[in-house]
A and B are shown apart, each in its own frame.
Chain A
Amino acid sequence: MANTFELISSTVVGSGGASSIDFTSIPSTYKDLVVLLSIRTNRGGNPDQLVVKFNGSSSSYTQRTLEGFNGGTSSYSNTYLFAYVNGNTSTSNTFGNASLYLPNYASSQNKSLSIESATENNSSAGGEFPAAGLWSNTAAITSIGLTSTTADLISQYSTAYLYGVKNA
């Protein structure tokens, strides 16, 4: 059978950390994209927001987040896309998990995506954050950039995997 869930690119952050993780030259030959993340940053707090940008663009994003955090629930909107990840004050060796699902990423319609993230921690500041994202841009997505919203480094041993999904 055909391989319909293919690894396009991967990153494992090395010693010293990384200011960003960038997937570039993403081919348009798939139907959907999946990004799977295990990320921790050097932010002096917890959690941190890992900002997602497409094609280097800083505009036309909206996100609605449903939050379960420290036993409470809330919902809010932002004008940028992000996944929550663990910051440097969370339990040692603990990384936030996140996934992005981008259907029809190469289409000429605005891009809708699903974002899931979780930041478990051996004290307070643990949470789960499903979110709906939109990039109101009709360009095909050819690159994805990931940075800490506080400009802190992404920690060593963080990983990011980009998969392409075919429907035939």
Chain B
Amino acid sequence: MAAGSTYTPIATTTLGSNQSSVTLSSLGGYTDLRIVLNLKITAGGFAIKPNSNGSSIYSVTNLRGNGTTASSTRLTTGDLGGTGLYLFNGSVSTSNFNTVTLDFLNYGNSTTYKTMLARFNNTDNFVGTTVGLMQSTTAITSLYFYCDGGGQLASGSSITAYGIQAA
């Protein structure tokens, strides 16, 4: 990672109460985007919609280990519909915060589809990594975080977006 002013906090929030969603906006202006979450959710799964786009343009592949076995899941646009970039579901820790990092590389261009690399740690249940694709050439300027299935992002969770400048 770059040092100094090339690694710049763009937006940050710490939840003072449970919330159904969080949006970080005005994220443009950098080469790459890194999101760091210290996250706890109350139920359901966790997903991200760049630009709050709810169209059926998302697919993900994840690799995870639950402490006993390793497994992989593939979710296509047909599976996800407009759910967004889906990170994890089921057996989500509601007692401890989980460390999650997301990387959106070259997120500001307007010619290519956008890829996300994620590392998620459900500390009580599993460790995993996900690659996600958003089939949109629109530059990412905001991220909408929410819980699928009626859960909420729990009080005390924090989300910070860092911009990484190539020059």
List A residues at the B interface (Cβ < 8 Å): 1-7, 31-32, 34, 62, 64-67, 73-77, 101-104, 109-110, 112-114, 116, 130-134, 136, 163, 165-168
Contact = CB atoms under 8 A, between A and B. Distances in A.
28 contacts: A2-B5, A5-B2, A31-B160, A64-B67, A64-B125, A64-B126, A64-B127, A65-B67, A66-B127, A73-B65, A74-B65, A75-B69, A75-B70, A76-B65, A101-B101, A103-B158, A109-B96, A110-B96, A112-B123, A114-B119, A131-B127, A132-B99, A132-B121, A132-B123, A134-B124, A136-B96, A166-B9, A167-B12
Contact of A34 (B1, B5, B127, B160): B1
B66 interface: yes
Contact of B127 (A6, A73, A130): A130
Q: Which 7 A-B pairs have the closest CB atoms?
A: A75-B65, A132-B121, A66-B65, A1-B5, A77-B67, A132-B127, A103-B38
Contacts of A136: 96
A112 B36 contact: no
A69 to B, nearest CB: 11
A96 B75 CA distance: 33
A130 B119 CA distance: 8
| Interface size grouping (class) on chain B | 35 or more
B3 interface: yes
